[in-house]
Structure 1
Amino acid sequence: MADQHVDYLDGWRGLAIIFLLIGHFFPIPGINFGRVGVDFFFVLSGFLMCRLLFIKNVPIKTFYQRRISRIFPAHFAFLALVLLYFFLTGKNINWSETLMASLFINNYFPGEVGHAIMPFGHIWSLSVEEHTYILLTLIAVAVRQKYIDVRYAIGSVSLLSVVLGVLYWQHFPPGQLEYELWAHSEISAFGILFSGLLLLCLQRVRIPTLPVFVYPALILLGLACYWRSVPLPVRGFIGVGLFAFTLNALSTAPAIVKKILSWTLLKQIGLWSFSIYLWQQVFYLAHHRDGLATWLAVCLAIFCGIASYYLIENPMRHFLNKRWTKSE
């Protein structure tokens, strides 16, 4: 059962990694573009996963096989190669940080925030996604057994994320809130869940084609919510919500909007984005901790990401999917 490939979604993924690289290597005062990039990834992930589970009704086993083939080979190869580098160069290895990243729970156990030894801090976002995939598959099982309504279920957990986010914001100091608690799955999963909820609701109510200028305007309005003086819940829920709405509105967008997002280079960057995301953290830390030149750090991050895509991520995904298809 093959997924329908949509070019402009690859372009959206390309924008996500570009925003993240800007945030890490060319920071713009006032807005954390690194987080913007992650939230772009989250809303796309929710859109795609809910389409698979609740519209295409992909079998749960197949869903997990695809997620494993897509994420695990590149992820664990990245961890192994970093450990090998640390071992060969005599650097201290923090096994606790490594274990937390391996188990996809370092968004709850990140090590000493701001002073982590291993370049695995960015795995927090993969942890959020993995946890949310499990939640969505549990909902899918209940929906397929007709125990619950899918919109009610996803809407309820989305609302719970908002309630918990507001409670955390009221009761915890800003530093702990943004750099620890806001990485927890019960909060950051909102982008994944809300985007999926919009997709499901819009199966009944179609968004009309909006004027061309509305689409960039929505993204700019979302970016404005990320300004440093804006309360964190505004960024985390309204800003992310605007990104989710924009993504879901693309299916009925004017042709020129889809054409821009389907630009060949942007699409290609989107295809490489997961592997680039994995490897950029190594050179982001080398840039900020060790003074590696900015452009050299960026080039090395992109080069290693592309190499990972062609040598590990893409061939292993095809190999595993082909093997699992034959065994069925």
Structure 2
Amino acid sequence: MTPLRIPPPSSRAPSSRLPSLTGLRFLAALLVVCYHLSRQVGTLPVLSPLAWYGRSGVTFFFVLSGFVLAWTYADAPVPARRFYRRRLARIWPLHALTTGASLAVYAALGAAVPVTAALWSLPLLHPWGRGTVMGGNPAGWSLGDEAWFYLLFPLLLRLRPGLRTAALCCAAGPLLWLAGSAVTDPALRSWLLDYLPLSRTPQFLLGAALALAVRRGRLPVLPLLPAALAVAAFHLALVPWHHAVPDPAWHSPYSASQLLSAPLFAALITATAQADLHHPGGPLTRRPWTLLGNWSFAWYLIHEITFRPWLHHHGHPAPGLPTAATWLLLATTSLTLAALLHHLVEHPLERLLRDRPAAPPPGPGSPGVVRPRPAPRTGAVGPGPAEEPRDAPVPSARPSAPPA
């Protein structure tokens, strides 16, 4: 296989450190957690209407995954097989562990145990089947999409996507959403538009194209505040839209929140990265935010599992203060578990599995090569994860299951 080549950056190549993306990852994970709390536990004024379609955070992670990997692998050659091993080391151990934990909770509560779906999820193939998409841990569906993105990534670098590709990816979301009008079965339409890896590929590709454009100096600096306000305005607009159109309808915000938000998230991610490059030391670079961002992948995978036993034993809380207290208890408990998983399982196993003993660098004729630069210091889509090496950002936080 011919080595993959990306033109070297200019002599004024920007710093590789993008710490604000890690803090941003935590905020996206928080959006997903609030989505599940609202739909599964109980609603709160203001917060629940804004988070009712918070599964859009998965779209954020898919775009972030493409951005971080393209940013990271733009220079020094790395064999494709090593890239795949690193990606697997990044996401699979925690995926396998939380899948086992999810199955154990299902069994302990007397619920049906999705053994077949769980088996398909171990090789990360579950989103390709309508009946297996949720795997053994509903939050882990996005890791199957990420695995597909990783498989494509060496070819993606070879094709050198640019701003025209980014524009086509921005158009793909609305076109797919409109195409949903031709599918009358809401469950089938949801699988095709929300979970199927092919439908989510433009989001990953959009992030990658913008990262390469920033690296090559082909994109003007985007203002951060307007990008953030645009994302907030989009989610505010979903509130009246939700009241006007029921979720099963093709033109509801259910799929639209995920397919139409990609360009806005891409602008926010790009603006945040550019702010780190040109004005380092922003608020999201501080230690508390980066620490929370590092925990976000584990939080994404474990939070919904912790909700089930509580709901089974205590039921739904009364509206008002009891619901707020339950939100706080479940969010802090699941975040504490996520911190433990990150430090005791995720990080140690990734370091153990990601690299074999050093070998001579590949030459011009070496098989399949992806080209990484020093990884942005951004912490561990949902997404999963998207960083390389260990310091880069992970789209972890990974996606959410549809409402029960």
> What TM-score range do you get, normalising by the shorter chain?
0.7 to 0.9
Q: Which amino acid aligns with 2:345?
A: I
> What is aligned with 2:335?
302
Partners of 2:279 and 2:188 in 1: CA distance: 40
Residue from 232, 239, 246 that aligns with 2:268: 246
- 2:119 maps to 1:99: yes
Residue from 141, 144, 161 that aligns with 1:150: 161
Q: Which amino acid aligns with 1:253?
A: A
> CA offset at residue 221 of structure 1?
3.2
- 2:285 maps to 1:262: yes
> What is aligned with 1:37?
57
> CA offset at residue 128 of structure 1?
1.2
> What is aligned with 1:63?
83
Q: Is the 8 A contact 1:19 1:37 kept in 2?
A: yes
Deviations 1:75-127 (A, max 9, x none): 112223344555677764321121132232332335489xx7x7612212111
> What is aligned with 1:278?
301
> CA offset at residue 259 of structure 1?
1.4
Residue from 165, 168, 179 that aligns with 2:190: 179
Q: Which amino acid aligns with 1:315?
A: P
Q: Is the 8 A contact 2:126 2:141 kept in 1?
A: yes
Deviations 1:225-276 (A, max 9, x none): 6453575575344421111111112233388896122232222111011111
> CA offset at residue 299 of structure 1?
2.8
- 2:192 maps to 1:197: no
Partners of 1:240 and 1:249 in 2: CA distance: 14
> CA offset at residue 174 of structure 1?
7.0
- 2:19 maps to 1:7: yes
- 2:356 maps to 1:324: yes
Partners of 1:106 and 1:250 in 2: CA distance: 33
Gaps of 5+ in 2: 1-14, 246-250, 317-325, 361-404
Q: Is the 8 A contact 1:195 1:241 kept in 2?
A: no
Question: Structure 1 pair 327/200, CA: closer, same or farther in 2 (3 Å)?
Answer: closer
- 2:145 maps to 1:128: yes
Deviations 1:267-315 (A, max 9, x none): 2111011111111121234455652744333233212211211111011
Q: Which amino acid aligns with 2:299?
A: I
Partners of 2:344 and 2:264 in 1: CA distance: 36
> CA offset at residue 15 of structure 1?
1.0
Q: Which amino acid aligns with 1:66?
A: R
Partners of 1:207 and 1:122 in 2: CA distance: 36
Partners of 2:309 and 2:72 in 1: CA distance: 38
Gaps of 5+ in 1: none
> CA offset at residue 159 of structure 1?
7.1
> CA offset at residue 38 of structure 1?
1.4
Q: Which amino acid aligns with 1:64?
A: Y
Size of the aligned set, in residue pairs, is: 315
Q: Is the 8 A contact 2:117 2:132 kept in 1?
A: no
Q: How many percent identity over aligned positions?
A: 21
Higher helix proportion? 1
Deviations 1:115-144 (A, max 9, x none): x7x76122121111111111222333xx2x
Q: Is the 8 A contact 1:129 1:189 kept in 2?
A: no
